[in-house]
Structure 1
Amino acid sequence: MTATNLADLYDLPPLDLAALRARLDQGFDQAPGGGGPDRHTCWLTTINADGSPHVTAVGALWVDGAFWFETGAGTRKGRNVVRDSRCALAVALREYDVIVDGTVARVTDPAVVAARAADWAAGGWPCEVDASGTALTAPFSAPSAGSPPWQVYRIDATAVTALQTVEPGGATRWVL
């Protein structure tokens, strides 16, 4: 792993990746009124077939040292990650603005899918594992997720950039 201090210009030390991970481990609420100016929104960027970026909000989780999201196979982001697994996910927390560059992998292990369903349900989205055991269903989801079933995806980070938004500040990029 290499770390680059992006705040040398301001004589600030590099950020501590362990502290950033500890903050992410605390979780963040994506429900209205739960954070940020009104909530924390995760923005997923995937790559369209023509090479242009596609950015969309997703209901992501940080669990087991990785970001997770769900979407329908027919959505643009769903089609994009099948064709090209490279992506980026960004979220603004109170203490940090975070960008994770990485690759996406669909998760089909029934135990892992069930664990993520439980995590999303604990956060207020009443999803459950579908009859296949490898995808999710619920009475509703974001319109951008498409119709159920929704596949579960894990982002394996290749790089992380964080800007500390509280004192003393700082900015660091880690290539993993």
Structure 2
Amino acid sequence: METINLGEADGLPPVEWAAVVEKLDAGSVPQADAPNARTTWLSTLNEDGGPHVTAVGAIWVDGTFWFQTGAGTRKGRNVARDRRCSVAVSVRDADVVIEGDAVRVTEPGAVARVARAWAEQGWPAEPDESGSGITAPFNAPSLGPPPWNVYRIEPRSATVVWSAEPGGLTRFRF
């Protein structure tokens, strides 16, 4: 992994990637009165190359973000055509952006593991009959009926703004 200290000119130390992963693994959320809310944002590329940004119920499992969507949604069509995407989230003391490629996951064991992780966080997802998608009693109406496709982000880079003392701004290339 390459670490680039973007805050060096301001005398800031580089952020340690292990500290970021620790917060993501713990499901760390900003303090209730923090200015950064706990929303995960997914950015994909529209057909014309412009960005499409939407809030998603992404989850951090096995060292990366996962999301689900219907095949006919804009984000579903976008990642089917161009896998490049980014996920942005605020955690306690940091804002994190992961850039990479969305890869559809159909392997039943992986789909089941991620569905369990969503269920443990309160969304009762489970694998569909084929094991290659997920279903749940509710989801965003715009996703269409289940089953929904599951995607894993294969990260290429991350940018982290660390707000806790001593602060930091670092880019990581994986």
- Tell me, which stretches of 5 or more residues in structure 1 are unaligned? none
Work out the CA distance in 1 between the residues paired with 2:156 and 2:33. 27
What is the aligned partner in structure 1 of residue 86 from structure 2? 88
> TM-score, length-normalised on structure 1?
0.92
What is the aligned partner in structure 2 of residue 73 from structure 1? 71
1:93-128 deviation line (CA, Å, top 9, x unaligned): 121100000001000010110111110011000111
1:152-171 deviation line (CA, Å, top 9, x unaligned): 10001000000002211111
Equivalent residues of 1:136, 1:148 under 8 A apart: yes
The one-letter code sitting in structure 1 at the alignment partner of 2:163 is T
Relative to structure 1, the CA distance from residue 66 to residue 34 in structure 2 (aligned partners, 3 Å threshold; closer, same or farther) is farther
Q: May I ask how many residue pairs the two structures share in their alignment?
A: 174
Work out the CA distance in 1 between the residues paired with 2:37 and 2:146. 25
What is the aligned partner in structure 2 of residue 113 from structure 1? 111
Alignment of 1:94-133 (within 5 A): 94-133=92-131
Work out the CA distance in 2 between the residues paired with 1:61 and 1:101. 15
> TM-score, length-normalised on structure 2?
0.93
What is the aligned partner in structure 1 of residue 39 from structure 2? 41
Equivalent residues of 1:28, 1:35 under 8 A apart: no
Q: Which of 55, 58, 71 does residue 56 from structure 2 map onto?
A: 58
Is 1:162 aligned to 2:143, yes or no?
A: no
The one-letter code sitting in structure 2 at the alignment partner of 1:46 is T
Work out the CA distance in 2 between the residues paired with 1:97 and 1:75. 27
Equivalent residues of 2:161, 2:168 under 8 A apart: yes
- Tell me how large the CA RMSD over aligned residues is: 2.0
> How far is 1:23 from its partner?
1.2
| % identical equivalent positions | 54
